[in-house]
Structure 1
């Protein structure tokens, strides 16, 4: 199935500065948001307590909120959990002693709100939350480093650097959206970010692989022309893959419930930004990095020559002539 004809070549490089300018604005705006507004760290990273409560009737969220305001839990976040009768109370940075079970205390506080049952209480200490946050940042950093090494080996260092630039671009803008809409950052969000790293890199590698093939098979010496042809030929594949994934994630976001809204929102933004960068941004970085077609062809021809020599020596060894 073709959404765009593979025979038609679109001139993406002619407007690369406009796309790079748009990306720069979004990137800088995201950085500013992250440094000024910051991230809304949830229980997993900030520490605190989660109380899951199930009512016999529709949960009176406003009444619960008003009741808690008169206590030390006045800053709690109350949200629905799966059904109208069930809610989750998130007490971020709770001052209560995490070695004690607060079940009885919460039960006494919530008595005026109706008939209910406390189904679950999870507690995360501030120290544990800090460790999780540090390990999450370490996981992201290690992922980028391993990807940089892998791409340097598979392609060429400029391809690797351009790919990592595109990944940083995608993740930063996604994090900026999370900060803008005050999405609670927890382990689910970290999982979504790591998923986006793989998704965005996969799209970028497909485009770069086509560029590499085009350099080897085409007689053209203009990098912009080769990029336009390569991106145009992968455009249908990129668009269809992104749309089908986007439909699934959008369904999760709109119908999956409150508990996975943050996860699905992060994926939703990341897929849109990742698709945009794969088509309009990643290859533009190659041009900005002064990628040389002639040097790349020389390296590839030498690589092929060494491979043929190895195969020849192996054949001679197997025949007993060496």
Structure 2
């Protein structure tokens, strides 16, 4: 049986040749993502801002103005609405009730359900969640800390595992992947809520990106030892092309699984799945065009670490031979 080969064995694409164009595109996308984060911001969910989130399912896509006026008429404070992937489902976000009674939230939710059912026949309650302001502050701090420590830890590992150039290029590429994901959610903030599911997706994207980059970095280091007289441009092109079939096949299989999850996973997982699919595309791009080519800009030379090791071993051997 003939094996399926998406990438031919003799593939020889000049990735390094277009590195300046790739760097320019990467810089523009990063600046655009930062601008979106500053100007539009993220549509933070209840996990991060605190409050009560109610999901209501309507018989048909409802007019949001009427839904907002109905809920605002109850006097619970400013209402924030968002239509989820299924336009019939609306997320209603309200401040926490002023009363400290144990059943205050349940009473609030019950009044909202009753008012919407009377205004929109066929409307049914799906679920609700509540997070206090103190907990939401802790979740924001812990989420940012988790992403930051993941990037720093991976950069330090690459530094000691290979050379310092690998650590810097890996950190730059992963930071680019994270910013692209955050920029996407800032751009489409009306469609997606940024909650703990998205933070989990960002950490998963970091894990996938570092896995892809480590495979390429290992091959680069292996070829640095094998082809000591080869220039870094040719060596990196050779290494990326050798790992390209594995990179493409891994990305395609993951995208197929995520596509099924996007179609049949429901609106609860839609944000997580969208973040993962974007992260796979961006992570593959940064591994091939950004991380590896950046090694040349950082001045990496073939065989440096190996030469040092051999010199040190030779000196120890000569020292033992001396009387």
Q: Same fold (TM over 0.5)?
A: yes
Structure 2 residue aligned with 1:189? 198
Structure 2 matches for 1:122-133, cutoff 5 A?
Answer: 122-133=129-140
Structure 2 residue aligned with 1:312? none
Count of residue pairs brought into register by the alignment? 303
Structure 2 residue aligned with 1:140? 147
Structure 1 residue aligned with 2:157? 150
Separation in structure 2 between the aligned mates of residue 44 and residue 162 of structure 1, nearest angstrom: 33
Separation in structure 2 between the aligned mates of residue 11 and residue 60 of structure 1, nearest angstrom: 50
Separation in structure 1 between the aligned mates of residue 179 and residue 124 of structure 2, nearest angstrom: 41
Normalised by the length of structure 2, the TM-score is 0.84
SS of residue matched to 1:77: strand
Separation in structure 1 between the aligned mates of residue 307 and residue 27 of structure 2, nearest angstrom: 34
The alpha carbon displacement at 1:253 in A equals 2.0
Structure 1 residue aligned with 2:39? 36
Normalised by the length of structure 1, the TM-score is 0.84
Separation in structure 2 between the aligned mates of residue 90 and residue 38 of structure 1, nearest angstrom: 19
The alpha carbon displacement at 1:104 in A equals 2.7
C-alpha distance 80-29 of structure 1, shift in aligned 2 (>3 A): closer
Listed one character per residue, the Cα deviations across residues 127-176 of structure 1 (whole Å, up to 9, x for unaligned) are 21111001111111111122122212221111111111110011111111
Q: Which of 7, 10, 18 in structure 2 is aligned with 1:7? A: 10
Separation in structure 1 between the aligned mates of residue 187 and residue 90 of structure 2, nearest angstrom: 23
Separation in structure 2 between the aligned mates of residue 255 and residue 22 of structure 1, nearest angstrom: 34
Listed one character per residue, the Cα deviations across residues 253-276 of structure 1 (whole Å, up to 9, x for unaligned) are 233221111111111111100011
SS of residue matched to 1:90: strand
- Whether the aligned pair in 1 keeps the contact of 2:49 and 2:136 (CA below 8 Å) is yes
Mark the runs of 5 or more structure 2 residues left unpaired by the alignment. Answer: 318-323
Mark the runs of 5 or more structure 1 residues left unpaired by the alignment. Answer: 310-322
Listed one character per residue, the Cα deviations across residues 214-234 of structure 1 (whole Å, up to 9, x for unaligned) are 111124331000000000111
Q: Superposition RMSD on alpha carbons, in Å?
A: 2.8
Structure 1 residue aligned with 2:107? 104
